[in-house]
Structure 1
Amino acid sequence: MTPQIVLITGALFGLFAVVLGAFGAHALKKIATEEQIKSFETGVKYQMYHALVLLFAGSYFETPGLVLYYAFTVGTFLFSFSIYGLVLSSATGKKMKFLGPVTPLGGLLLIVGWISLLLEFL
């Protein structure tokens, strides 16, 4: 994986974390419960954490590993975006329950990404 792709992905995740965080802080408060807002914020935090990890990996490694890149990218997407979908669909009364099992799958991929990062250092 080229560092440029990793950096672009990290920058896009960071950008959308800020946009979605602002949405959650303002627009979501009108339709969601406090618990739903906290869940949404968890998705935003994890998205930003992993945006920063991708920016680091793209800057630090000459050729970031494929497992590292895909585990963090797909894991972040599945974890955070499933939370966004669950919160938004629940807040509008049309909960997409099929997203429930997606969140832990994303979390598992994030763990794989962190293990891959550790192995890159070793």
Structure 2
Amino acid sequence: MKRNPRKVKWTKAFRKAAGKEMVVDGALDMERRRNVPLRYDRNLMMTTLTAMKKISEIRAKRERVFYKSRVISKKRTAEKTAMLKHVKMNMELVPTATRKRLEESKVLGQKVQNEDIEMA
């Protein structure tokens, strides 16, 4: 059975098209196969091994940044909306000074600032 790889969720093509994989990354180009065989050279081998270590560090760092930008930012916004909902439902438990400040800044209809949520 033939399938379009961009529609099958487990393929690399789908993950790249959906924005779940890093598409443009210079470190990925280093791993391409080269069809030209090289004669053994000790210095070349040592520089290649050190470059491989650096590339793996760079890739790990870029993947962490990519993950943070995709997943953690969405998680934080979800947590903030959950906290806001919790504050709205339990407004009688909030101290009066904080409650007045929340009402003055009209936060009940908008987003809650971090300090207001933490104090509540």
Greater RCO (Cα-Cα under 8 Å, separation 6 or more): 1
- Give the structure with the higher percent helix: 1
TM-score under structure 1 length normalisation: 0.31
Larger gyration radius, structure 1 or structure 2: 2
